Amino acid sequence: MVQTKKKEQGNTLVSGAISLTMSVIIVKIIGFIYKVPLSHILSDEGMGYFNSAYSIFTFFYMLCLGGVPRAVSINIAEAAAKGERENAEQILKVSLKIFTAIGLLFSCALMIFSGFFASLIGNSLARFSLFAIAPSLTFVAMAGVLRGYLNGSGRMIPIAVSEVLDGSIKFIFGLTFALLAARRKMSYPMISAFTVLGVTLGSFSGVLFLYITSKIKNNNENSRQKCETSERAREILRRIFKISIPITLSSAVMGISNIIDLGMIMKRLSAMGYSDTEAVALYGNFTTLALPLLNAVVSLTTPVSTSAMPHLTTNRALKNINEYKKITEGIFTFIGIVVTPIFSAYLLFSNEILRLLFNDESAKLAAPLLSLISPAVIFLPLLTVVNTVLESSSFAKIPLFSMSIGAILKLVSGHILIGKIGIAGAPVSTVICYAVALIISSCFMLRKTTVSFSVFGVMCIPMLASLISVGGMYALNKYSVETIGKSIVFPLIIIISAAIYILIICIFMRKRIGILKNYVKIAKKRNYSL
């Protein structure tokens, strides 16, 4: 076995997950603070233009970048496990050049054809926002490579700092530009366009920080050790594309699905008798209030799988099967404990949660949508972890297959349901998509990898505990609001429900928590980073 060295300030799996999670929490807090006043400035109509541009941008983002961070991370981790440290800098240089060029190409394409893509989704006035956000593609392509390099090297703190910096700049300049445009009494499409300029500036600041950090580190390493050998650029790109293409395609499949979904929602709502403005407002309400709360949970759980990727890859390369199993089961245990109470809260307290963040009218409209999409709070984080396990085990094509099937079912069910029950069909079709994709990926994971436990078995006790704690508090809330008052009761309900949930978990999940402790112990014991 290749001997490993602990860096003086190296990050373990746990510290990496913690730093990324903390950065996500900060960014999400900034995001909520950002979106609450922004939703008042833009209204549901303006947020429709804003989110329409984001949907197109996300597709191009996935198409030009998708699996690059993971591919770079896996290659760096494998090089570390095999003792081939001298290839890391070459991997970074080659990847940075090629993907910067790809990002620049996609930025130009999105700027030139912004009108075409906006018309394609049935929201032609979103073209101004598309044009303003297009340069971000170049910056996020560069950032993806740098984050993959730092992740594979076990350096999570610079990644976390860059994300906070990105979110802060987006908040400061986006909101400032929106206020200035609103004071000049510009139209909603133009206010939206000025707002997304903050996204572009945030992306630039984030990648600049990552580049400076990586450059300083490389210079320090070069002063201590000169690389004796390096891989040829063609071989490096072959290895990166071999991993990144299936991951990118699976992301692109969902991106295409979301774009088609957007156009379909608009057309189906119009067919039901809604005007174009009303359809945009309904879509804006769904994507501004309900979807961000789903994405917030995914963002909080994703750092665990992100930081685990190089460790899973290393243990697979070194054939440490027992540690591979323990780390994998520990990840699923953690995800199960975290997401199930959030699912129950979204399902039962959607109206109360949304009213804490948004105005009563918008919250009332979005509350049923949040309840309907709440099962995805479980399915999507689990799917992310399952796909991470498959990708780290060199089965990157399986997530592409499962996501493709899920996307097809989402479009078919969405077309049928939206035509029958309106905008409520959108969250239901989203849940169907992720549930089916999770089942398919989980079956392949149990068959193709060394994972030998049931993903759904991990969820049983946390689910029961969350339904008891949150469900009991739901009944109490109905009674207490009438006697005490809404503003006082709900925060107390959250605290009591959380205490009951934690107590049940500690009593009935001792064995699982023991596995989680084992997972932490392994992460602290070993550090395979460069």
Interval 82-132: pLDDT, tens = 666 667 677 778 888 888 888 899 899 888 988 888 887 777 888 888 898
7 lies in a domain?
A: no
pLDDT of residue 436: 94
- Provide the pLDDT for residue 226: 43
Instruction: Determine the pLDDT at residue 491.
Output: 73
Q: State the SS3 of 332-365.
A: HHHHHHHHHHHHHHHHHCHHHHHHHHCCHHHHHH
How would you class 405 by CB atoms within 10 Å of its CB: exposed for 0-12, middle for 13-18, buried for 19 or more? middle
Please tell me the total number of residues recorded for the chain in this structure.
530
Tell me the per-residue pLDDT of 380-402, one tens digit each, with 9 for 90 and over.
989 988 888 888 777 878 888 99
Q: Which domain holds residue 400?
A: 13-525
Name 70's Cβ contacts closer than 8 Å, sequence gap at least 6: 148, 243, 244, 247, 309, 391
Residue 468 pLDDT = 85
**Spatial separation of the C-alpha atoms in residues 202 and 239, rounded to whole Å:** 31
For the chain, residues with pLDDT lower than 70 are 1-18, 64-66, 79-86, 88, 215-233, 255, 259, 317, 452-457, 477-489, 509-530
Half-sphere exposure of 317 (CA within 13 A, CB side): 21
**Hey, how many other C-beta atoms are within 10 angstroms of the C-beta on 112?**
11
- pLDDT reported for residue 281: 78
Examine residue 406 and state whether it is found in any structural domain, yes or no. Answer: yes
Asked whether residue 6 is assigned to any structural domain, the reply reads no
Is residue 2 domain-resident?
no
pTM for the full model?
Answer: 0.70
In a domain, 530, yes or no: no
- Distance between CA 6 and CA 333 in Å, rounded? 27
Neighbour-count burial for 493-528, b at 16+ CB within 10 Å, e otherwise: bbeebeebbeebbeeebeebbebbebbbebbeebbb
Which pLDDT belongs to residue 223? 40
Residue-wise DSSP of 91-104: HHHHHHHHHHHHHH
Neighbours of 429 (CB within 10 A): 25
Residue 1 covered by a domain: no
pLDDT of residue 3: 41
In this prediction, residue 530 carries a pLDDT of: 35
Residue 379 has a pLDDT of: 92
220 within some domain? yes
Considering its fold, how many domains does the chain have in total? 1
Q: Which residues make Cβ contacts (< 8 Å) with residue 510, sequence separation at least 6? A: none
CB of 397 closer than 8 Å to CB of 317: no
Report d(CA 5, CA 212) in Å as an integer: 25
Tell whether 25 is covered by a domain: yes
Half-sphere CA count of 223, side-chain side, radius 13 A: 6
Residue 187: closest CA among 42, 71, 70, 321: 42
Q: Which 8-state DSSP code applies to residue 450?
A: S
Q: Is the dihedral of CA 370, 376, 378, 384 positive or negative?
A: negative
What's the chain's Rg over C-alpha atoms? 23
For residue 521, what pLDDT is reported?
A: 52
Residue 61, pLDDT score:
78
Predicted pLDDT at 393: 78
Q: Distance between CA atoms of 69 and 89, rounded to whole angstroms?
A: 15
